[in-house]
């Protein structure tokens, strides 16, 4: 029963953020002093007022119209959920929380992400969101991957299709046994 409740709470929170794009409804799914940390960029907020300001001005409503989350895996514990997903969008709006100060490039982005979410009772306490920022920057044309051990959309595509090649960044050093 607890597993279904956490999943329902998390999915309701995500609907408020990404479907209805309702700041008040999103905040209502959270404890009085929640926090969100997008780890690669350290964006989000701590406490009701700061997080509400962040949601109003830098997150909810600012994501591109084609913003889509593709579920990959979910682990549910007694008081937390770990969600792995692929995020797809075209960079047609300023996305302060992911690429602060970068104007829209019009380029597509596909990125593997992980959200670690903790609950108290029937409210969300915090979200820690992780992704590979180098992969985002490569896809936006802001980082030249030549000679660097980074990829672009290939990393997310590999999450969705395990049959795609592994070890390409190793070049000639990769040898099958």
Q: What is the pLDDT of residue 159?
A: 95
| pLDDT, averaged across the chain | 94
Distance separating alpha carbons of residues 90 and 67, to the nearest angstrom: 7
Class of domain 2-164: alpha beta
Q: Are 156 and 86 in contact (CB under 8 A)?
A: yes
What pLDDT shows up at residue 131?
98
Give the contacts of 13 (CB within 8 A, at least 6 positions apart): 26, 29, 30, 124
Return the residue matching tokens 């490569």.
138
Q: What is the pLDDT of residue 4?
A: 55
pTM of the entire predicted model: 0.90
**128-159 pLDDT, tens digit each:** 999 999 999 999 999 999 989 999 999 999 99
Q: Please state the three-class secondary structure of the chain as a single string.
A: CHHHHHHHHHHHHHHHHHHCCCHHHHHHCEEEEEEEEECCCCEEEECHHHHHHHHHHHHCCCCCCCCEEEEEEEEECCCEEEEEEEEEEECCCCCCCCCCCCCCCCCEEEEEEEEEEEEECCEEEEEEEEECHHHHHHHCCCCCCCCCCCCCHHHHHHHHCCCCCCCHHHHHHCCCC
Using pLDDT thresholds of 50, 70 and 90, give the confidence band for residue 172.
Answer: confident
pLDDT of res. 1:
41
pLDDT of residue 177: 58
Model pLDDT for residues 13-65, shown as the tens digit of each residue: 999 999 999 999 999 999 999 999 999 999 999 999 999 999 999 999 889 99
Each residue of 89-141: pLDDT tens digit? 999 999 999 999 999 999 999 999 999 999 999 999 999 999 999 999 999 99
Q: Is the pLDDT of residue 170 over 90?
A: no
């Amino acid at each position: 029963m607890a597993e279904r409740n956490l999943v329902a709470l998390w999915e309701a929170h995500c609907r408020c953020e990404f479907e209805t794009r309702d700041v008040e409804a999103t905040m209502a799914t959270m404890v009085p002093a929640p926090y969100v940390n997008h780890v690669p960029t350290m964006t989000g907020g701590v406490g009701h007022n700061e997080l509400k300001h962040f949601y109003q001005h830098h997150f909810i409503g600012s994501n591109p119209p084609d913003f889509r989350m593709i579920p990959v895996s979910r682990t549910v514990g007694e008081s937390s959920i770990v969600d792995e997903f692929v995020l797809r969008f075209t960079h047609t709006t300023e996305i302060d929380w992911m690429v602060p100060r970068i104007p829209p490039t019009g380029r597509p982005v596909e990125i593997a992400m992980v959200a670690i979410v903790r609950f108290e009772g029937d409210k969300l306490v915090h979200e820690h969101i992780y992704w590979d920022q180098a992969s985002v920057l490569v896809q936006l044309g802001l980082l030249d991957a030549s000679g660097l051990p980074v990829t672009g959309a290939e990393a997310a595509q590999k999450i969705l299709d395990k049959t795609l090649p592994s070890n390409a960044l190793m070049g000639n050093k990769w040898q099958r046994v």
